[in-house]
Structures are given as structure tokens and as C-alpha cells.
Chain A
Amino acid sequence: MKLTDTLRYASDAATGTPLRTGLLMLAMSIGVAAVVILTALGDGARRYVVGEFSAIGSNLVIVLPGRSETRGFNPANLVTSTPRDLTVNDASALLRLPSVTRISPILIATTEVNAAGKLREAMLLGTNDEYIHVRQQKVALGRFLSKSDLGNGGAEVVLGAVIRRDIFGSENPLGKTVRIGDRRLRVVGVLAEGGQGMGMTTDELLIVPIATAQAMLNTNTLFRILVEARSREQIGEVKANVLKMLTQRHEGEEDVTVITQDAVLKTFDKILNVLTLGVAGIAAISLAVAGILVMNVMLVSVTQRTAEVGLLKALGATSAAVRQLFMAEALLLSLSGGLLGTGLGYLGAAVLRHVYPTFPAYPPLWAVLAGLGTSLLSGLIFGVMPARRAAQLDPIQALSKR
């Protein structure tokens, strides 16, 4: 018997019982659709988190003073154990490194802000004009700090959104003066609400030029230096170069820690991938159930078509041909169910994306292929038994049954 004839006969047999075939395809398609939608959710969560992290600036290399990890014995450890401070000069030196596009020194302290007769506690953040780009934040009103030499800062301040509301209410704060500590600074801008940075909200920040902050706090050290690499691929190179240069500048002692957001990102990526796999595994159980259903339906089909099997044998069908007919039917049923399920899954994912536009619920290709493959495989595995049973039917008894 020719393959095309086998397939046509099998599909005729399947369409001959539309209700049974329909229900079976539904069961199979729900299984596959579950795999597709759940992995779309899992993978969407991964993309969402990774995307959010990237928005913060995933090209970022952060330098902090002091060693946070212990390495083997180093003679330098004996000579001095006090880490050298990070300075503005360190920061300027880093800007000369290749593949570094921007740097932003950070100094943080708690302080009080006083204006229009109101006093409020707030975080003071000293930095430079690049900060807004490095941290990818937005100014709601006015402008950010002006470009200035790292060594001398103007008397200007950018307010966080909440500070601005608490002090000025709905009044326009631009050009007004606030007193921070013993200095009077002119408000040049207000940050957009809802920004995140350094593990805290930017809504309660007072941002001033780094030199001004250092003068106010009477220090020349830095809390952090943010270094932006040209691209994500160059992060490793930048990290190494930063470490090398700072070690050099600190008389050969590696007394700074360089961390990248990429490492954090990778961890999240890994965790969420495992989550997606787990969810796919759960959905695959429904596929196995659908496979057992295929077997059940095919067994019933064999019983109902006993006379037909007997006839086929009388007409000269070999046992192999009969087996192939029933296998083909099981495969066709599960494959069409699988394809239907893939369609349903994509539709479901599209509906999800429509309802939550920020959530990138795209089913990953591997999951779709795995879903289809599993449906085919379960058709194959669970089709074997009914097909064998049909092939082994005794034609005489099969024919006498009617």
C-alpha cells in the first residue's frame, strides 16, 4: 500500500467519526496550547525582568572601594589593610580607558534641606552631568546638572519629585533657592517621578555637582564610580581595564571591587529559564494525558472497526498494512491536535500581550517544537498498542462480527 493512500485512508477514517476525532484533537490541542502559553508566560517573565534590568543600564560597571572578596595571601595585605579611597581623579582617569563612554562619580550622604521655611531630611547625591545618561533617568522640569569640571561645581541642585512636592507644592521651583546644610543652591531641575537608582528611589534625592557635595561634606572620597561600557559585549574588557588601572593608581594594591550588572542579569536569566522549563514540564503532563486519551480512542476505534479490519485482511491487506493504517490515524490525530494547539497557544499568547502590553509573552521556539514533538511522540507511542491489536485480529472472527 502506498504511503499517500495509507494517509488518505487514515484521514478518511478519522473524519468518519467527527465527534470522536474532534474531542481527541481538542484534548491534544489543549495539552500543546498549555505548553505554548505557559512557556510564553515563563519566557515572557524572563524577558521582562531582563528588559527592566537592561533599561537601568546593563552596560554599567560599578566600582566600589574596598575588597569584598578574599583572595589568597598577598604580601601587600601585610603592609596595609586600609583601602585607599576612590577619588575624583580616579574617576577622570577611568574616562580615558578605551571602550568607556561615560563615567559618573557618586557621593552619598544624608542631609537636611531647608527652603520656604520648611525643613526636610533628604539624601544628598553628588555626581556629574553624565549621571542622568548613565542611569537612564529623565528630567521632568528644567535641566540636569550642567557640564562642569569634576574639580569645581556650581551652586545648583536637581530635586527629586517628592522633595519638590513637599517643599514647593505645586509652585514652580525653577530658579528658587534652597538651603542645604550651610549652603544656598539654586534649583535648576526636577527629576521625573518613579526613577530607581542605587537601590533606592530617586524621588527623595537632592542631586548636586560632585565638587559641591565634596566641599559640603568636607571630603574628597567617592562612594561609587559608575562606568558605562560602549556595549554589553565590552563589559568584561572594561571591568578588567578598570581594575588594572585602579590597581596601578593605588600603588599596585587591588583594593577596589568592580561589579557588573551583567552578572546579576545572568543569574536572573538562569533562574527564570529554569522556571520556564519547570512550567513546560508541568504542561507536558497534560500532553501525556492526551496521549493516553489517543490510545483509548484508538482502542475503541479498533473494536468498532473489527469487521472493517477483517475485510481489509480478506481483501489482501497484510498485518503490517493494517498496523500502518491505525498508526497513521493515531499520528494524524495527534499531529493535527498538536498543530491546532500551537495555533491556540499563539493566539492565547497574543491575547496575553494584548491585555498586558508591557509583558513580552512570546512562546519560545524550542517550546513550540517540543510541544509538537511530544504530541507526535505520544501519538506514536500510544498508537502502537491499538495498531498491534488491529493487526493481530483474526480475520474470520472479525468478519463474523457485525
Chain B
Amino acid sequence: MSDASQSLITLSGISRTFQLGDSTVHALRNVDLHVSPGEYIAVMGPSGSGKSTLLNLLGLLDRPDIGTYQLESRDVTTLNPDELAKVRSERIGFIFQSFHLVPRLTAAANIELPLTLAGVPAAERAKRVAQALQEYGLTDRAQHRPNELSGGQRQRVAIARATVQRPAVLLADEPTGNLDRVTGEEVVRLLEALNAQGTTLIVVTHDPALGARARRQIRMEDGSIVSDTTNAQASST
């Protein structure tokens, strides 16, 4: 699985600094990371350790100051904003702590959004949305707006939206942060099932229990990766 020739993500010498008033904050310092397809990674660390910046960078929402980022053997640090948007649209799925559903759109319309933005024809969209709704058990909730859904259902809609374009990488930022234990568990299982089907899953979390489930744990501190361990066997709670 960790075959070097079969690389999904390669970060080399990535640094990112922010200017906060007079002081310079080093969010990432000389980070090297190698991710193979199908991996399940948890990124952990205290607040301000740079894990969110890393996730934004991986999701092409942010650019490094120094270093190169190769996604599927393509250097994406040199792409222009429109090309980045296209890569985001096709290869990357985001899952947020606060779901980020568009409140006025129905569950189905929220799931449809990435397809609409990508200019997929309406008939094709309808087919894929119906399929996604069925896969995530949301068919009877299709016409509900986010405020009519439970937290777990909302996150399922968000996951359906993130995966409807069949991305290579799924980036989840505290996916269970706003959910109770039971629904959180349900959402994690859903994500792990996707991973089992081959989608690379990278989860940023504070929760050690959630982090421990991943096969590979990356611990960050002060903008650097301080430990990178791979479990022989994923533990379960």
C-alpha cells in the first residue's frame, strides 16, 4: 500500500508563514509528507500547530510560500486559481466541522452543487444525486432543507456532497466536532467505509479516540510534523 512509485500526495519542503501584525507566524515549517492512495490518516495536534493550514494546503485552498506539492504526480503549486478550482472540483472533497450546507437549498440541491459548479448536464446530475441520496440513506430527506435535518443527517448530506464527484482525497476537518457520540460514530463509520472502497481519507481532529482509529497518525506541533506512526492494525472503539 505504501508503494513509493504509487504516490497520491507528495509534499516536500513546504513552509507557510502568516503575517499577524508585526509578528510572523510560522504555520508550517519545512514539512515533508508522502501519502499513498487509499491511506487513512489522522492529523492531530494542539491548536495552532498548523494542522488546519496543512489541510487547507492539501485542499488547494492555500498555497505554500516555499516547497512543492505534487498531487497525483502533478505539481499543483504552479497552477493558476482557475486550474486549482478545477482540481478541487474533480479530485478533492471537503468535509467541515460545521457542515457548511447552503441553508436555502434542499439536501438534494446541496449534494448537486459540486456537479452544478462543474457544469455537469442536468440529466446526469439528477442521476448521480439520486444515487448519492440512496447510498447515504437520505432518499426520503431529499427535499428537506438543512434546518429540517438532524446533525447526523446534515453531515451525511455534506459527505454525500463531498463524494459525489468521486474525489481521490477526502479532507475532513473535525467531522464529528459538532455531533454527539452516537451520530459521530455513525459518521466516522461512513467515512471509514468510503476509505475501505479506496478513497484516501485525511482527518484533522482534536479527539484522540477518533485519531486512534486511523491507520496512520501524524502529530503536529508548532508547524512541524513531530511524529508519523503507522498502526499495523486499525484499532476500534
Query: A residues bordering B, Cβ < 8 Å?
Result: 1-2, 5, 9, 12-13, 15-16, 307-308, 310-321, 395-396, 399, 402
**A325 and chain B: residue at smallest CB distance:** B117
Main secondary structure of the interface of A (DSSP, over half): helix
A396/B61 in contact, CB under 8 A = yes
**B102 and chain A: residue at smallest CB distance:** A308
A313/B61 in contact, CB under 8 A = yes
On chain B, the residues within 8 Å of A12 by CB distance are: 104-105, 109
On chain A, the residues within 8 Å of B89 by CB distance are: 315-317
Is B56 on the interface with A (CB-CB < 8 A)? yes
Interface segment, B35-43, B66-74, B92-100, B147-155?
A: B92-100
A1-B100 CB under 8 A given contacts A314-B94, A316-B85: no
Is B208 on the interface with A (CB-CB < 8 A)? no
Partner of A5 from the list B61, B62, B116, B161 (CB cut-off 8 Å) is: B116
Is B21 on the interface with A (CB-CB < 8 A)? no
On chain A, the residues within 8 Å of B94 by CB distance are: 314-315
A399/B100 in contact, CB under 8 A = yes
CA distance A7 to B98 in the complex (A): 27
On chain B, the residues within 8 Å of A399 by CB distance are: 61, 96, 100
B117/A317 in contact, CB under 8 A = yes
B218 to chain A, nearest CB (A): 20
B173 to chain A, nearest CB (A): 9
B86 to chain A, nearest CB (A): 7
CA distance A307 to B114 in the complex (A): 16
On chain B, the residues within 8 Å of A402 by CB distance are: 98, 100
**A320 and chain B: residue at smallest CB distance:** B82
User: Can you name 13 A-B residue pairings with CB atoms under 8 Å?
Assistant: A307-B100, A311-B102, A313-B61, A315-B89, A315-B117, A316-B114, A316-B117, A317-B89, A318-B86, A319-B85, A396-B62, A399-B61, A402-B100
A316-B90 CB under 8 A given contacts A2-B119, A9-B116, A311-B102: yes
On chain B, the residues within 8 Å of A13 by CB distance are: 104
On chain B, the residues within 8 Å of A2 by CB distance are: 116, 119
CA distance A346 to B129 in the complex (A): 45
A318/B81 in contact, CB under 8 A = yes
A27 to chain B, nearest CB (A): 22
CA distance A97 to B113 in the complex (A): 80
Partner of A314 from the list B88, B90, B102, B103 (CB cut-off 8 Å) is: B88
B116/A16 in contact, CB under 8 A = no
B61/A314 in contact, CB under 8 A = yes
